[in-house]
């Protein structure tokens, strides 16, 4: 089958590009020009010098997504704090249920309010670092192309010890994208615009998906310094280590090889979530904090308060009985001394009654704190589960939008190949 040699300056596009115009492919060194009409060299599989950076979508998705997520965590935490504070202020003013509500508020609100300030500081620092990292990677990530080679070169056409590249040659990028050649300028421009439009839509999906997940995380207990620090550390560690294993890295070369369907790694996500929870608890335990420790302490306080309540009620009942007996014995003819004793016993009974009421309220409050701790932990687990479902849906949409990008690029490549002048028949 006849093939087209590639000259220096031919258009290149990448399926992860966000700039709406094609770049040019070149070579670090000038080589043979004998097979071209002009003085442009024919390129080889090692000639991967690109005229500029494609401004890859992957770092933009990761760091912008992280920024939206951290901001949303604060938003979610503040919304919940407002709702809980309003509920406590409205309900906890009276009644036995009010004590439980107040206890729940006491368990949940401090964890939100006291933590939000520190968490925001961590978030702001992470966002600042993310912006720097995103800017650098967006401008320099394509430098790795210099370490790559073109796939599907022409084995029997050798220039200076290397195979020639052809119109069907491509570079599988470490970030999951595919760099391809388009000889026709008009088709190259069309491809670049199409790819950039799709990638901006994919980026929008990711950041808004992260925002929604952040609100849920903040609302369900992630807005604490330990959790925020772990989130920031994990994101920065992954990002600084590259994006090859990131879940934003969609292997588009696999899409070319076979009709692969979307798969979401629920097991991996659950393991990651469990690991993060374990880290939070271990760090909290070292500081004398943590959900388990606090829940255990609150349960102990609740049992103690119930015992105190029982004792207070028993004392009140005895005092009430004694006062009633003295009151039954007095009459108008009773001495002032007897009347005084009866009055004194009534005062004691009333005092012990107030103590018993206070003890009952304290027991309700302690029960509320225990329940609040369980609710907080349960909300965290439930929030993680909901976020996995949300993340899977957004990731699925991103996957199939990427797949559609690759499909349309294949169509353009087919048109380009048909329009291109045939220079080589694969022989020399």
Q: Are 182 and 24 in contact (CB under 8 A)?
A: no
Predicted local confidence at residue 426, as pLDDT: 46
Assess if residue 364 is contained within a domain: no
Predicted local confidence at residue 106, as pLDDT: 47
Nearest Cα to 18, choosing from 412, 306, 405, 413?
405
Assess if residue 77 is contained within a domain: no
Predicted local confidence at residue 258, as pLDDT: 78
Q: Is 168 exposed, middle or buried (0-12, 13-18, 19+ CB in 10 A)?
A: middle
Assess if residue 322 is contained within a domain: no
Tokens of 256: 């070319």
- How far is it, in rounded angstroms, from Cα 139 to Cα 315? 77
141 CB-side CA count, 13 A: 28
Helix axes of 185-219 and 57-91: crossing angle, nearest 10 degrees: 30
Tokens of 127: 């966002």
Assess if residue 375 is contained within a domain: no
Q: How many domains does the chain have?
A: 1
- How far is it, in rounded angstroms, from Cα 56 to Cα 60? 7
Return averaged pLDDT per consecutive 10 residues of the chain, 428 residues in all: 76 95 80 53 84 92 89 78 60 50 48 60 80 86 76 70 82 89 95 97 95 85 68 73 82 82 87 74 63 69 78 82 80 72 79 78 67 63 86 95 94 88 48
Predicted local confidence at residue 21, as pLDDT: 95
- How far is it, in rounded angstroms, from Cα 278 to Cα 281? 5
Computed from CA positions of residues 76, 284, 247, 171, in that sequence, does the dihedral angle turn out positive or negative?
positive
394 CB-side CA count, 13 A: 23
Assess if residue 27 is contained within a domain: yes
Neighbouring C-beta atoms of residue 304, cutoff 10 Å = 13
Assess if residue 362 is contained within a domain: no
Q: Are 142 and 54 in contact (CB under 8 A)?
A: yes
Predicted local confidence at residue 284, as pLDDT: 63
Predicted local confidence at residue 187, as pLDDT: 96
CA 182 to chain centre: 37
Neighbouring C-beta atoms of residue 229, cutoff 10 Å = 18
At 116, which helix (H) or strand (E)?
helix 96-140
Assess if residue 215 is contained within a domain: yes
Domain that holds residue 20: 11-62+111-278+387-419
Assess if residue 315 is contained within a domain: no
Predicted local confidence at residue 425, as pLDDT: 47
Predicted local confidence at residue 391, as pLDDT: 93
Predicted local confidence at residue 46, as pLDDT: 84
Predicted local confidence at residue 370, as pLDDT: 64
The SS3 assignment for 95 reads: coil
CA distances from 163 to 3, 18, 80 (A): 13, 30, 63
Predicted local confidence at residue 286, as pLDDT: 65
Q: What is the pTM of this model?
A: 0.73
Cβ neighbors of 316 (< 8 A, separation 6 or more) are: 349, 352, 353, 355, 356
């Amino acid at each position: 089958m006849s093939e087209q040699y590639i000259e220096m300056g031919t258009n290149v596009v990448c399926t992860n590009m966000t700039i709406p115009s094609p770049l040019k492919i070149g070579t670090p060194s000038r080589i043979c020009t004998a097979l071209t009409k002009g003085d442009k060299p024919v390129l080889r599989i090692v000639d991967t010098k690109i005229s500029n950076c494609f401004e890859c979508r992957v770092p933009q998705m990761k760091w912008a997504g992280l920024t939206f997520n951290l901001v949303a965590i604060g938003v979610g935490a503040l919304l919940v704090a407002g709702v809980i504070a309003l509920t406590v202020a409205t309900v906890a003013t009276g009644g036995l249920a009010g004590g439980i509500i107040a206890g729940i508020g006491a368990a949940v609100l401090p964890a939100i309010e006291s933590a939000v300030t520190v968490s925001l500081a961590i978030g702001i620092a992470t966002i600042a670092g993310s912006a720097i990292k995103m800017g650098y990677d967006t401008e320099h990530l394509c430098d790795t192309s210099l370490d790559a080679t073109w796939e599907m070169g022409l084995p029997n056409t050798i220039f200076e010890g290397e195979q020639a590249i052809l119109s069907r040659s491509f570079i599988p990028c470490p970030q999951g994208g595919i760099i391809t050649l388009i000889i026709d300028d008009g088709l190259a421009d069309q491809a670049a615009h199409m790819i950039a439009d799709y990638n901006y839509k994919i980026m929008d999906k990711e950041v808004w998906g992260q925002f929604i997940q952040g609100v849920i995380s903040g609302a369900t207990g992630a807005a604490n310094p330990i959790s925020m620090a772990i989130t920031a550390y994990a994101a920065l560690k992954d990002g600084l280590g590259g994006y090859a294993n990131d879940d934003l890295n969609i292997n588009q070369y696999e899409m070319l090889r076979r009709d692969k369907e979307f798969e979401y790694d629920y097991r991996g996500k659950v393991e990651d979530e469990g690991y993060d929870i374990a880290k939070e608890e271990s760090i909290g335990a070292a500081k004398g904090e943590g959900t388990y420790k606090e829940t255990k302490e609150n349960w102990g306080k609740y049992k103690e308060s119930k015992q105190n309540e029982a004792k207070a009620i028993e004392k009140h009942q005895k005092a009430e009985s004694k006062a009633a007996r003295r009151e039954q014995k007095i009459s108008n003819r009773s001495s002032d001394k007897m009347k005084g004793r009866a009055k004194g016993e009534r005062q004691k009974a009333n005092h012990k009654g107030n103590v018993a009421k206070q003890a009952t309220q304290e027991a309700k409050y302690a029960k509320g704190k225990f329940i609040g701790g369980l609710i907080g932990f349960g909300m965290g687990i439930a929030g993680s589960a909901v976020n996995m479902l949300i993340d899977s849906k957004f990731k699925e949409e991103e996957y199939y939008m990427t797949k559609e990008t690759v499909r349309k690029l294949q169509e353009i490549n087919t048109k380009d190949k048909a329009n291109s002048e045939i220079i080589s028949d694969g022989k020399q």
